[in-house]
């Protein structure tokens, strides 16, 4: 059996920066992260071991005088409310999420009705729309009917959505409302695009693809769907403990990729396990 690594894998810079900010914080035992800093169980374990507290969500009561906004961002209103409570707020928001916020704000300022393509209950999307009086979040094609009667539509996307899926949704909105002015700003982040493209190439070469990432990680779930769409059998794992040798029976080539919040050491552990299944072992290339 041959093990093939995707061209693009491992943590993106936004996730690395957020973790670095949390782990190097002054007196981490006095810091509460409001929600999952990133959607990865191993990273959250490391943060807890370092003494940080992790609240269930952005709106959960803080146990410390200092709090941290996760990499997924938050609305200005939510941050202002935290400060009004006397809390010191530190923001670990990914710069590419900040970019999505700015683009949506500009569209609204220019008179467009705001539309976000993404998951309605995802923390990033909640942050994007949290300062808006009216908006629509569109996840599926049958929700496009909610946009009826809007003369000007300004569209952005959750940063971890597959670009092709977003573009298809925008095209359908334009077909459905040809009389409306539709302005789309591409806010899918570069690491997501690169990861999706690499997963597509990997799945075309491999009968089975192992995708490493947190259960609640949207970009990891999208990688699984991308591989499946290319005809590969895709399995999502959080760590080497989730691997099943039965998945690899009678498989000539297995591919390996990972979500943008997966630590390098977890990727290496899974890679080494796959090589052991294949009867050989070698270091993971840097």
38-96 per-position pLDDT tens digit: 888 888 998 999 999 999 999 998 889 999 999 999 999 999 999 999 999 999 999 99
In a domain, 285, yes or no: no
* Residue 283 in domain: no
CA pair distance 196, 190, nearest whole angstrom: 10
For residues 82 and 118, membership in a common domain is answered with no
The domain boundary residue, chosen from 135, 156, 184? 184
Residue 283 has pLDDT above 70, yes or no: no
Q: CA–CA distance from 2 to each of 6, 90, 164, 269, 275 (Å)?
A: 13, 45, 30, 17, 8
What's the pLDDT at 280? Answer: 54
Distance of alpha carbon 7 from alpha carbon 27, whole angstroms: 38
- Asked whether residue 264 is domain-assigned, the answer is yes
Residue 124: active-site member: yes
Q: Is 269 a domain residue? A: yes
Largest CA distance in the chain: 62
Radius of gyration of the chain (CA): 20
Do 208 and 178 share a domain, yes or no? no
In a domain, residue 153? The reply is: yes
At 51 the three-state DSSP class reads coil
Write down the residue that tokens 């803080």 correspond to.
62
Question: Does 175 lie in the same domain as 102?
Answer: yes
* Residue 286: per-residue pLDDT: 42
* Same domain membership, residue 88 and residue 63: yes
Split into its structural domains, the chain has a count of 3
CA-angle at 75, arms to 72 and 78, nearest 5°:
110
Residues 6+ apart with CB under 8 A from 275: 3, 281, 282
Helix (H) or strand (E) holding 238: none
In a domain, 61, yes or no: yes
- Answer yes or no: do 126 and 194 share one domain: no
Which domain covers residue 78, as residue numbers?
A: 13-94
Q: Give the helix/strand (H/E) hosting 221.
A: helix 218-229
| Last residue in a domain, options 163, 184, 205 | 184
Q: Catalytic: which of 124, 136, 238, 269?
A: 124
Q: Are 25 and 52 in contact (CB under 8 A)?
A: yes
The DSSP secondary-structure symbol of 28 reads G
User: Would 222 be classed as within a structural domain?
Assistant: yes
Residue 76's CATH number: 3.40.50.11270
Mean pLDDT of the chain: 93
Last residue of a domain, one of 158, 184, 210: 184
- Provide the pLDDT confidence category of residue 158 given band limits of 50, 70 and 90: very high
In a shared domain, residues 216 and 270 = yes
CATH code for the domain in which residue 219 is found: 3.40.1010.20
Look at residue 18 and tell me whether its pLDDT is greater than 70: yes
Percent helix, strand, coil in the chain, to 5, is 45, 20, 40
Model confidence pLDDT, tens digit, residues 161-206 = 999 999 999 999 999 999 999 999 999 999 999 999 999 999 999 9
169 and 155 fall within a common domain? yes
> In sequence order, what are the beta bridge partners of 90?
68
Per-residue pLDDT at 285 exceeds 70: no
Share above pLDDT 70 across residues of the chain, in percent, rounded to a whole number: 98
70 and 17 co-located in one domain: yes
């Amino acid at each position: 059996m041959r093990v093939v690594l995707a061209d693009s894998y491992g943590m993106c810079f936004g996730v690395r920066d957020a973790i670095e900010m949390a782990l190097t914080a002054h007196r981490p035992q006095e810091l509460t992260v409001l929600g999952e800093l990133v959607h990865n169980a191993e990273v959250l374990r490391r943060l807890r071991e370092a003494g940080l507290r992790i609240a269930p969500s952005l709106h959960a009561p803080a146990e410390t005088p200092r709090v941290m906004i996760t990499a997924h961002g938050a609305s200005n209103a939510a941050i202002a409310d935290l400060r009004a409570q006397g809390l010191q707020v530190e923001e670990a928001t990914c710069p590419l999420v900040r970019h999505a916020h700015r683009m949506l704000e500009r569209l609204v300022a220019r008179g467009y009705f705001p539309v976000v393509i993404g998951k309605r209950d995802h923390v990033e999307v909640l942050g994007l729309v949290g300062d808006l009086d009216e908006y629509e979040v569109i996840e599926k094609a049958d929700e496009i009917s909610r946009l009826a009667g809007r003369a000007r539509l300004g569209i952005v996307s959750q940063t971890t959505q597959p670009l092709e899926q977003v573009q298809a949704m925008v095209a359908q909105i334009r077909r459905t409302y040809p009389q409306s002015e539709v302005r789309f700003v591409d806010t899918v982040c570069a690491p997501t695009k690169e990861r999706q493209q690499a997963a597509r190439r990997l799945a075309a070469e491999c009968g089975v693809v192992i995708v490493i990432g947190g259960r609640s990680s949207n970009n990891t779930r999208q990688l699984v769907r991308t591989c499946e769409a290319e005809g590969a059998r895709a399995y999502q794992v959080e760590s080497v403990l989730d691997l099943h040798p039965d998945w690899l029976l009678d498989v000539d080539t297995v591919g390996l990729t990972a979500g943008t919040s997966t630590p390098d050491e977890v990727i290496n552990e899974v890679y080494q396990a796959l090589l052991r299944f294949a009867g050989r072992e070698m270091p993971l290339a840097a």
